[in-house]
Amino acid sequence: MKQFGKFLSMSMLLSLTFSLFPLNAVLAEEEKDPSDKNVVILNKEAQQAAGITIITLEPQAIKVSVSAPGEVIQNAKLTNKVTIRVASQVIKRNVQEGEHVKKNQIIATLSSVDMAKVQGDLLLASQEWQRVKSLGKEAISGKRYSEAQVAFQHAYSTALAYGLTEEEADELLRTQKPSQAKGDFNILAPRDGTIFNINFTEGELIEPGRILLQVVDESTVWIDAKLPSDLTRPVKVGDLAKVSSRNTALSGRVIQVHHQLDETTRTRSIRVEIPNANDVLHPGQYVNCQIEGGETAPKLALPVAAVLRTSDGDWAIYVEKSPDHFQQVKVKVVEVINNYAIIEGVPIGVKVVTNGAFFVRSELNKRGFDADGH
C-alpha cells in the first residue's frame, strides 16, 4: 500500500510535467523570435508569378529632375523686327505669312517723298564732289574741297539711314539719272528666317517706327517653362532640359531663371534654349519640359512603388528576412525625388522587394497581420 502511494505520487508528478510541456514549448518558441508572426512565406513559383524582384539596399545617387509645362517662343537673339524710318506708302508686298526667306531678299517696295528728297540731295552732293575732285586741291581752296567731300559723305549716310541700301545708293550714283530719284526703295530681309506677324498691306501709308513684320530664325527656339514656387531643389542656369511634344523629344539647356513669381499663377519662369534644326517646334506650341538638375549625394532610396502605406498610415517596405520569408518593416520617407523615395530607419544591406511589394502586402493582410505583426 505504501509502495502504491509512492507510485501514485510519481505518476501524478510526471502527468503534471507532460501537461505543462506544450505550453512551455510555445512560450519558448515565442520568446525565440516574436517577429516571425509578421512573416509571409512565398515560394519561388509564387514570387515568379507575382513578378517579385529583390535588391540589396545600398546608398545611391539620384538624378534630380523637375517636370514643368512650357510654351515655345521666338529666340529673341534670332528675331528681327522690320520697321521703316520715313513716312512711306507700300507699293508692293513680296512675301506671305510663314514664308521662308533668305537674307537680303526683297520683302516689300515702298515710296516716300522724304526718300525722294534724300536721293536728290545725294545726286547733287555727288556731282559737286566729282567736280571739285576733278579740279584738284591746287585749283581750289582746301576749305571748299573738304566741304564738298563732307557734304557727299553726309548725303550718302543720310540716304542709308533713311532706308536706302548700299546697292541702291551705288546704282543711283552710277547712273546719275535724276529720274531715278523718285523715292522708291526696297525693304530687305535682315537674315534667313520665317516671316511672322505681317502688319501692312499694299497701298497703305506707313508711319516711321511701325513694325511691318518679323523675320525669325527658328533653328533655335526658346521654351518659356513654369515651375512651382515651392521647389525643394532649385533649377539653375546650365541644367540639361528635355522637351517632348507630339512624340518628339529634343534636348537643350536652361539659359535663364526668373527670380520674380508670376502674380497670378505664383509660378516661376525659366527659359530653355532648344536646337530646332528639323523645324519641329514653332512659337505658340505647348510642350512638356523635364529639367535635369544633376545628382544628389548617395542616399538610401527605393522606387516609390516599393514603399507602401500600412493600415496605420505609416510608410513600410518589404524585406526578405531569409530565403522566401518576407517581412513588413516601417520606414520614414524623407523626400521623393524623380520617382524615388529617400528613406530612413532601415540598415544598409537588407534585401528589399522593389517590384511586387503590393502583392507581399496583400499576402500579409490575408493572414491577418498588420504593420506591427498583431
Which of 182, 206, 229 delimits the end of a domain?
Answer: 182
> For residue 277, what pLDDT is reported?
85
> For residue 190, what pLDDT is reported?
95
Q: Is residue 209 part of a domain?
A: no
**162 and 149 both lie in a single domain:** yes
Which of 266, 295, 324 delimits the end of a domain?
Answer: 295
CB-CB contact of 89 with 241 (8 Å):
no
State the Cα–Cα distance between residues 331 and 304, nearest whole angstrom: 13
Q: Is residue 19 part of a domain?
A: no
**129 and 177 both lie in a single domain:** yes
Q: 344 has which bridge partners?
A: 332
| Structural domain harbouring 38 | 34-61+298-366
**256 and 279 both lie in a single domain:** yes
**222 and 290 both lie in a single domain:** yes
**223 and 176 both lie in a single domain:** no
Q: Is residue 2 part of a domain?
A: no
Q: Is residue 6 part of a domain?
A: no
CB-CB contact of 106 with 184 (8 Å):
no
Pairing state between β 63-73 and 39-41 = unpaired
C-alpha cell at 272: 530653355
Which of 265, 295, 325 delimits the end of a domain?
Answer: 295
Q: Is residue 264 part of a domain?
A: yes
Question: What are the backbone dihedrals phi and psi of residue 335, each rounded to the nearest 5 degrees, phi first?
Answer: -165, 165
Q: Helix 113-135 and helix 142-162: axis angle, to 10°?
A: 150
**227 and 291 both lie in a single domain:** yes
> For residue 189, what pLDDT is reported?
96
Cα 141 to Cα 80, 150, 154, 204, 363: the distances in Å are 47, 14, 20, 49, 111
Q: Is residue 356 part of a domain?
A: yes
Q: 287 has which bridge partners?
A: 70
**304 and 272 both lie in a single domain:** no
Contacts of residue 313, Cβ cutoff 8 Å, sequence gap at least 6: none
Segments in the chain below pLDDT 70 = 1-37, 232, 368-374
**267 and 303 both lie in a single domain:** no
The total of other beta-carbon atoms located within 10 Å of residue 353's CB is 24
State the Cα–Cα distance between residues 67 and 17, nearest whole angstrom: 70
Contacts of residue 98, Cβ cutoff 8 Å, sequence gap at least 6: 194, 195, 196
**290 and 334 both lie in a single domain:** no
> For residue 3, what pLDDT is reported?
46
**288 and 222 both lie in a single domain:** yes
> For residue 14, what pLDDT is reported?
36
State the Cα–Cα distance between residues 122 and 15, nearest whole angstrom: 133
CB-CB contact of 289 with 242 (8 Å):
yes
**255 and 231 both lie in a single domain:** yes
CB-CB contact of 83 with 212 (8 Å):
yes
State the Cα–Cα distance between residues 357 and 318, nearest whole angstrom: 6
- CATH of residue 252's domain is 2.40.30.170
**302 and 271 both lie in a single domain:** no
Residue linked to cell 505681317 = 198
- CATH of residue 352's domain is 2.40.420.20
Q: Is residue 93 part of a domain?
A: no
Q: Does pTM top 0.85 for this prediction? A: no
Q: Is residue 10 part of a domain?
A: no
Query: Domain tally for the chain?
Result: 3
Cα 359 to Cα 40, 41, 312, 354: the distances in Å are 11, 12, 18, 11
> For residue 369, what pLDDT is reported?
59
Contacts of residue 54, Cβ cutoff 8 Å, sequence gap at least 6: 320, 351, 352, 353, 354
